[in-house]
Amino acid sequence: MQSNTKCIVFSDLDGTLLDHFDYSFNAALPAIATLQSNNIPIIINTSKTFAEVVDLQKNLTISAPFIVENGAAIFFPKSYTSQCPDECIEYGDYWMKTFSQPRTAWIELLKREGKAFQDQFQGFSELTNKSIANLTGLSLEDADKANQRLFNEPVLWHDTPAKAQAFIDHIRSHGANVLKGGRFIHVGDFTDKGRALNWLTNLYQSASNTAIKTIALGDGENDTAMLETAHIAVQIRSPVHSFPILDDENFIYQTREYGPKGWAEAMNFLYQDLLIQNALITERQEKKYG
């Protein structure tokens, strides 16, 4: 880990660094290059899987640790840090720190405790990549990467929403964190993006001589813990919902632009304000656009 880190940027992907509709990110590339040329790590913090992020990192030309499956684990490329960080284990070309039981634990729980509901749901692990592609609109190749989950099991519910509640309550009572998504029910551990941000920041902090400032960027409800944990929260404007409410005493910047354009807008603002002039924010300030 670098010893001269002063600032770390944590970013969500979908709707934040990637456009909500077409997944483009070109508008953010100049801002990414500026941060990188100043040795500011950009940490992807997403609900996506390890397999999905490995590819996206390459396309985004980002080389840094990243956080997957909503705070379930952090991966460090060995090319980034050759020494295994504390509490980590080896995972191919990466070091891995987990905050979650493995996916197999939830598949077994569903098999054991889902018997009374067995005709009403199917886990992703029982579906072919072709069915997942049909259900999600992803290409076959992307459906395969989305299904390479390591820490949670999405469930497709075939019955009415009212009947899903009994299923959710039952699985919850056996220790799982159950989240209702748009199309799927996610069964996994109690993880969030904020806890993983904290753990990783502490690791950087232990190698650094100065106090590290954290900036987090996100658009959705599942970014709330990450945004509330960071020193500076950037809420990226979404074309499909309003800004989630933050319970945050820190600096909040709400973008005027959507997705990657908003990402660049916020970074340009913060960069000028915080980094070039080296004027780190010490008291509560807000800049919001209506």
List the beta bridge partners of residue 186: 154, 179
Q: Which stretch binds Mg ion (CB under 5 A): 65-73, 217-225, 239-247, 269-277?
A: 217-225
List the beta bridge partners of residue 237: 258
Site map 106..135 versus Mg ion, x via CB under 5 A: ------------------------------
Cβ closer to Mg ion: 6 or 261?
Answer: 261
Q: Is 12 assigned a catalytic role?
A: yes
Residues shown for the chain: 290
* Other residues' Cβ atoms within 10 Å of the Cβ of residue 196: 28
Cβ closer to Mg ion: 48 or 231?
Answer: 48
- In whole angstroms, the minimum distance from the beta carbon of 116 to Mg ion comes to 34
Q: Which stretch binds Mg ion (CB under 5 A): 13-21, 51-59, 122-130, 258-266?
A: 13-21
The residues, ordered by sequence, that sit 6+ positions from 100 with a Cβ below 8 Å of its Cβ are: 69, 72, 73, 151, 152, 188, 189, 191
- β-strand pairing of 66-68 with 73-77: antiparallel
The runs of H, that is alpha helices, within the chain are 29-37, 50-60, 103-113, 129-136, 140-146, 161-173, 193-207, 224-229, 259-270
- Contact pick of 52, 142, 219, 273 for Mg ion (by CB under 5 A): 219
Q: Which amino acid is at 260?
A: P
Say if CB 208 and CB 224 are below 8 A apart: no
Cβ closer to Mg ion: 235 or 250?
Answer: 235
- In whole angstroms, the minimum distance from the beta carbon of 120 to Mg ion comes to 29
Among candidate residues 25, 177, 39, the one with its CA nearest the CA of residue 100: 177
Cβ closer to Mg ion: 23 or 80?
Answer: 23
Find how far residue 92's CA is from the centre of its chain: 21
| Site membership for Mg ion, residue 19 (CB under 5 A) | no
| Site membership for Mg ion, residue 12 (CB under 5 A) | yes
- Contact pick of 65, 85, 188, 220 for Mg ion (by CB under 5 A): 220
Write the CA distances from 184 to 168, 178, 207, 228, integer angstroms. 12, 10, 40, 26
- Contact pick of 15, 85, 154, 259 for Mg ion (by CB under 5 A): 15
- In whole angstroms, the minimum distance from the beta carbon of 220 to Mg ion comes to 4
Q: Which stretch binds Mg ion (CB under 5 A): 7-15, 100-108, 156-164, 275-283?
A: 7-15
Cβ closer to Mg ion: 154 or 220?
Answer: 220
- The catalytic residue positions are 12
Contact positions toward Mg ion, by CB under 5 A?
A: 12, 14-15, 219-220
